[in-house]
């Protein structure tokens, strides 16, 4: 590990985690075409820390929402314990907690399919097709009529369908943010709410993934001499991730979210051609 590699990995993590270009898809293609199969295993603990860096990015951008949701979560529990039913609709922040919990549920199904999903990383044609699909989702999301749903009136079914989109996005090449935002818009979400819900929905997903990986990462070993380099990478990932989220929010509000579609199409077509060439030469 070097400081340069630490910074580069931090930049890649911060950009690919939040821009709708599929970080898992890019990782799979790098593994296939550039012989990087052992990067995650070699730097497993550092990879976990990088994900924590992007977790911090979301917390910084949406800290007001998170504080309000934590407050309403405990107020909601207190209301249930006291059986206080005022007949008034719950506050938006309390409904947002419910929507995030429901949207996270489909991910538990994917835990049992993890081995099958991992096998897809070595299939460059499959990853290329998934990138093309991501491009089409992004392209058409900008052409949908503007929705009006927010945390006040989004339904349980809406949250569950967006959550299913997030679960499917574990397939390398399908962007998590691109899929959840596009599906949210398809369900009639307001553009800014679709982005906000997508990134807040990523918090339990990122945290859960880190909890599952931390044990293996510690068992793989931690090089304490490289700890300063790890910290630099985490800071870079957090800072780059912060600006990546801001960029997505800005482009989505302006109806230019689909511009990422052209990048996904270019990478998808390029990697597909390269995959067929590699197969022909094998």
Per-residue confidence in pLDDT tens, the chain, 282 aa:
688 888 888 888 888 888 888 877 766 676 666 555 555 555 667 777 888 888 999 999 999 999 999 999 888 888 777 766 566 778 889 999 999 999 999 988 887 887 787 777 777 888 889 999 999 998 888 888 788 899 999 999 999 999 999 999 888 888 888 899 999 999 999 989 999 999 999 999 888 877 777 776 666 666 677 788 888 989 999 999 999 999 988 888 777 877 889 999 998 898 888 888 877 776
Q: How many structural domains does the chain have? A: 1
6 contacts 236 by C-beta, under 8 angstroms: yes
Dihedrals φ, ψ of 189, to 5°? -70, 145
Show the domain range for 81. 3-281
Distance of alpha carbon 246 from alpha carbon 248, whole angstroms: 6
Three-state helix/strand/coil letters over 50-118: HHHHHHHHHHHHCHHHHHHHHHHHHHHHHHHHCCCCCCCCCCHHHHHHHHHHHHHCHHHHHHCCHHHHH
Q: 213: which 2 tokens?
A: 């990986």
Which pTM value belongs to this model? 0.86
**What does the CA dihedral 263, 139, 275, 17 come to, rounded to 10 degrees?**
60
């Amino acid at each position: 590990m070097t400081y340069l590699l630490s910074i580069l990995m931090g930049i890649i993590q911060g950009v690919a985690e939040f821009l709708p270009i599929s970080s898992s898809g890019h990782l799979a293609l790098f593994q296939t075409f550039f012989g990087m199969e052992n990067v995650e295993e070699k730097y497993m603990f550092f990879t976990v820390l990088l994900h924590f860096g992007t977790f911090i990015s979301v917390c910084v951008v949406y800290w007001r929402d998170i504080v309000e949701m934590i407050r309403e979560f405990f107020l909601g529990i207190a209301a249930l314990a006291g059986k206080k039913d005022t007949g008034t609709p719950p506050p938006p922040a309390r409904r947002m907690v419910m929507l995030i919990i429901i949207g996270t549920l489909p991910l538990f199904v994917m835990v049992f399919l993890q081995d099958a999903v991992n096998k897809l990383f070595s299939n460059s044609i499959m990853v290329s097709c998934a990138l093309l699909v991501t491009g089409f989702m992004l392209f058409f999301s900008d052409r949908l009529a503007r929705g009006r749903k927010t945390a006040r009136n989004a339904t349980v079914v809406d949250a569950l369908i967006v959550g299913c989109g997030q679960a499917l996005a574990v397939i390398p090449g399908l962007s998590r943010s691109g899929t959840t935002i596009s599906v949210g818009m398809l369900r009639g979400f307001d553009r800014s709410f679709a982005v906000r819900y997508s990134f807040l929905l990523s918090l339990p997903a990122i945290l859960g993934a880190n909890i599952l990986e931390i044990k293996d990462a510690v068992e793989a070993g931690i090089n304490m001499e490289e700890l300063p380099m790890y910290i630099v990478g985490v800071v870079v990932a957090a800072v780059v991730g912060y600006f990546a989220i801001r960029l997505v929010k800005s482009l989505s509000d302006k109806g230019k979210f689909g511009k990422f579609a052209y990048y996904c199409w270019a990478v998808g077509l390029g990697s597909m051609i390269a995959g067929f060439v590699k197969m022909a030469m094998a």
